[in-house]
Amino acid sequence: MNTALPIEEINVWTTPLYVTKMPDHEFLKEALLTAVYEQKALQSTEIESQIAPTAKHALHESTLDFLELVDANIMEAKRVLEELILEVASAVNRDFWPEGAEIDAHIIESWYHVTQKGGYHDAHSHPNCSWCGIYYLEPGDASDAQHGGLNRFYDPRVNAEHYADLGTAYLGGQGVWDFTPTEGQIVIFPSYLKHSALPYFGDKDRVVLAFNAILDAY
């Protein structure tokens, strides 16, 4: 006779990441790249944002208002990205939002990275926002993992690796998740999640648009 008590599984403190593709990427790509390189040509320093310049190497970063440029294609990209953020945030939060609330997503910071051979961005997170994203406008040679340029996300459970044996194998071993960029893809993730861009060794520029967003109710 089986006298075992039932065991209930409860999953808590999960970290959701979402991957999708810019629906109009083929239409927007060239115009967005043109705008990126026009702004890059105007930069007076490699890290125009002046934020954590020592954490970045062999890359150009704009000021944090790229998606605010008055350009129809940039405005369309921003609109689509805000819709995607709202869709993601709604899926996670709908059971916690006030009934009948009208919610909008707003991108409050946005910038590009143009990364050359040997370029990288050390591990960091993004304060003062709830959701973040990376849009792979032109991954260059990073689409082949042998050339590096992967985005690495770090396990937020800081004590998860205090002890390792067969009982902790499900934790993933290294406490990281590597994402190989492909053209047109978008990764959306919560702002507390630490991440980095690993050293890139391709010959073509690796170009991404990154953004931070908040949500408002009215």
Which CATH number covers residue 80? 2.60.120.620
Domain assignment present for 174: yes
What tens digit of pLDDT does each residue of 118-132 get? Answer: 999 999 999 999 999
Tens of pLDDT along the chain (218 residues) come to 566 788 999 988 889 999 999 999 999 999 999 999 999 999 999 999 999 999 999 999 999 999 999 999 999 999 999 999 999 999 999 899 988 889 999 999 999 999 999 999 999 999 999 999 999 999 999 988 789 999 999 999 888 878 888 898 888 766 889 999 999 999 999 999 999 999 999 999 999 999 999 999 98
Domain assignment present for 203: yes
Domain assignment present for 177: yes
What tens digit of pLDDT does each residue of 145-182 get? Answer: 789 999 999 999 888 878 888 898 888 766 889 999 99
Which residues have CB under 8 Å from 86's CB, separation 6+? 103, 104, 105, 215
User: The domain containing residue 88 runs over which residues?
Assistant: 21-94+102-156+170-217
Domain assignment present for 4: no
- Give CA–CA dist 186/149, Å, rounded: 15
Domain assignment present for 2: no
Q: Distance of CA 73 to CAs 34, 41, 82, 118, Å?
A: 11, 19, 14, 30
Domain assignment present for 16: no
Domain assignment present for 1: no
Domain assignment present for 13: no
